[in-house]
Amino acid sequence: MSSSVHGQIAIGIPVRNEARRLTRLLGALARQTVGTGAFTACFLLDGCTDESATILSDRAGSLPFEICTGTLPRSAPNAGRARAAAMRLCLSQLGPAEEAFLLTTDADSLPADNWVEMNCRSLQTVDVVAGHIIRDGRRAGTWRTRLEDYQFELHRFRRTLDPISYDPAPSHPSLGGASLAFRASVYRELGGFLDLAHGEDTALAERARRQNYLVRQDGRVRVLTSGRTVGRAPNGLAHELRSQLPQKAPPNVPNPVRLAQHFRKQAALRYAFETHRMSPVAQHFNLYPEHLNEVAAIVRTSDAFVETIAPLNAADQSDLIPLPQAERLLGTLWAKDTDRAVA
């Protein structure tokens, strides 16, 4: 294992009837570049009625990493409860190590060969790492693929307007349970995943931001995830993908022009926080400098400051337009920003 990748590592993986996909995941974990015995994979069998447990038992002795398993009784699918149980299983394996890392992925996902290593490298400088989740079976030209590409470009444009020192390029818009990593101490302090039927992953990452932890959306950390449209969690990723299936009409998305206005406001606030110059931004956006200074005194990170003063809310995303129009407008915004930079 590289000298820059150290400490105890455990990977929490919730499993609900994934016998068809587990062998592929085990193969991906066996190819990790961190070396033999570098991590423990903790599989939480969430009411499984298939051969998932048997597959794990049969393979346990032939893999270059440790396997431990836990179970939950059969109940209605709840992604947050299952992932939280998987992470508790991880914590039980780590012991009192001062530097320990908790990773999580899904049983229907395929981490890149350097997934563990790149997560650990990133956790040397930040508290939470969200990996780039890439959907399996992408087909060029479909509305679903165009929407994913648009969201990626919109995020890249956002980070051009509002760069974050601890989240440098390559960044990406993903905040999903298929690839999240935490310093174990930070995960404990955050209280872990909430008991939510879906969206537990995004909720925890956003909570970390608001509570002064450094979150990096690291494009070097990559996972290929299932593009299936019949999922395990109600209203989860599969439901979202199903809602994006090819259709005659393009999907509607928030107007990027309005979003860009908010991104610029957040950038100005971040600059004010980092330079301790509140008066100019307060005057420009009709804010109270006393309030800005009060918030700045109780937060430790620019993200926490920005999310407290000017979070991206429903009103900023209420102006919906068809995706092709949004693509054209985003292209125009990119061109104007490039012209401004050249000038």
pTM score, whole prediction: 0.90
Q: Is 98 exposed, middle or buried (0-12, 13-18, 19+ CB in 10 A)?
A: exposed
Residue 7, pLDDT > 90, answer no
In this prediction, residue 234 carries a pLDDT of 47
Q: pLDDT for 139-148, tens place per residue?
A: 888 999 999 9
Cβ-contact 251, 244 below 8 angstroms: yes
Which of 17-26, 84-93, 247-256 shows the lowest mean pLDDT across its residues? 247-256
Measure the CA–CA gap between 223 and 178, rounded to whole angstroms. Answer: 7
Task: Give mean pLDDT, residues 222-242.
Answer: 57
In this prediction, residue 245 carries a pLDDT of 52
Residue 247, pLDDT > 80, answer no
Using pLDDT thresholds of 50, 70 and 90, give the confidence band for residue 237: very low
In this prediction, residue 36 carries a pLDDT of 92
User: In the block, which residue shows the tokens 């299932």?
Assistant: 226
Q: pLDDT for 94-128, tens place per residue?
A: 877 668 999 999 999 999 999 999 999 999 999 99
* Percent of the residues in the chain that have a pLDDT greater than 90, as a whole number: 80
* Percent of the residues in the chain that have a pLDDT greater than 70, as a whole number: 90
Task: Read off the tokens for 168.
Answer: 């440098």
DSSP β-bridge partners for residue 217: 130
Q: According to the per-residue pLDDT averaged within each range, which of 11-20, 92-101, 238-247 is highest?
A: 11-20
What domains are defined for the chain? Answer: 8-247 (3.90.550.10), 253-342 (no CATH)
Cβ-contact 53, 45 below 8 angstroms: yes
Residue 329, pLDDT > 50, answer yes
